[in-house]
Amino acid sequence: MLPTERREKIIEKLEKEEFLELKYLHKSLDISMETLRRDVQQLVKEDLVSKEYGGIRIKKENNGESIIEKRLNKNLAMKQQIAEKALTQIEDGDCIFLDSGSTTLQISKELRKRKNLTIITNSIPVMMEILDQGHTIISIGGKVRASEQSITSYDFLFNFDRLNIDKAFICCSGISFEKGITDYNLEEIETRRKILNISNLKFLTADSSKCNQIVTVKICELTDIDTFITDNNLDNDFKVKMKKLSVNVL
């Protein structure tokens, strides 16, 4: 296993448990303590985890959310899988919405393989990525949220009722059968709700580490989306339950 893959697994475990003992990681990853200490040292250097007595804890913002720069390379292989699947759902000439998030940023990198798209987004990194791809870009106006490099203010969205959005690609931080689709920031959630209401097809794009997780605020019910696009590590039971709700899983 490559060092980056090991560190991704450590972060995945921490996102579920928040604190893990080093002796547990040593056994579960089947690596030497020396190798584990090097991985931990690198994660501390990247400001993703903090060391505590006997273990490590994932670092988060005061509201529990990690900023986008710290998430960009987390679960990167999974997000690239999602991006490749998402591209199969996008046709030349489509009008699409790309949410703010590290997963949709990976999708934006694939869009140079399509022609004449109209891309609506509230993500500054997505805008920068697609700027030279030859597509039409529409930015949602509003307040800039520095931590996520996004633009959020649903009061500015009323003119979007006039748009015919073919496909919306939405991100989240938690997916559960108890609470539906959840995230942290209320302003971004209101933007997502508005976009979902005016979009013909609704895609949830999230890696499998978000499954069975519940965070601060509910975006919508699972049944409000048409398709869940995720990586190849999704638990089969979760997939079966989603399909019972008539949600397509890619």
What are the beta bridge partners of residue 248?
A: 227
Q: pTM, whole model, 2 decimals? A: 0.70
Task: Name the least confident of 142-146, 230-234, 245-249.
Answer: 142-146
Domain assignment present for residue 65? The answer is no
Whole-angstrom distance, CA of residue 230 vs CA of residue 162: 30
Domain assignment present for residue 155? The answer is yes
- CB contact set of 90 (below 8 Å; sequence gap of 6+): 96, 111, 114, 117, 167
Q: Give kind and range of the element (H or E) at residue 56.
A: strand 55-58
- 215 and 179 within one domain: yes
Domain assignment present for residue 82? The answer is yes
Q: What is the DSSP letter of 207?
A: -
Q: What is the dihedral of CA 1, 70, 137, 201, to 10 degrees?
A: 70
- 140 and 109 within one domain: yes
- 76 and 184 within one domain: yes
- 158 and 244 within one domain: yes
- 7 and 27 within one domain: yes
The pLDDT of residue 220:
94
Count of domains in the chain?
2
**pLDDT tens track for 149-181:** 555 555 555 566 777 899 999 999 899 999 999
Across residues 63-79, what is the average pLDDT?
61
Domain assignment present for residue 218? The answer is yes
Across residues 221-227, what is the average pLDDT?
97
Domain assignment present for residue 64? The answer is no
Q: Which residue has the higher pLDDT, 246 or 1?
A: 246
- 49 and 75 within one domain: no
Domain assignment present for residue 19? The answer is yes
End residue of a domain, out of 59, 81, 100: 59
Whole-angstrom distance, CA of residue 201 vs CA of residue 193: 13
The percent of residues above 70 in pLDDT, for the chain, comes to 83
Range of the domain at 146: 70-249
Domain assignment present for residue 143? The answer is yes
200 close to 62: Cβ distance less than 8 angstroms:
no
Six-digit token string for 178: 């108890």
**pLDDT tens track for 112-141:** 999 999 999 988 889 889 989 999 998 876
- 158 and 107 within one domain: yes
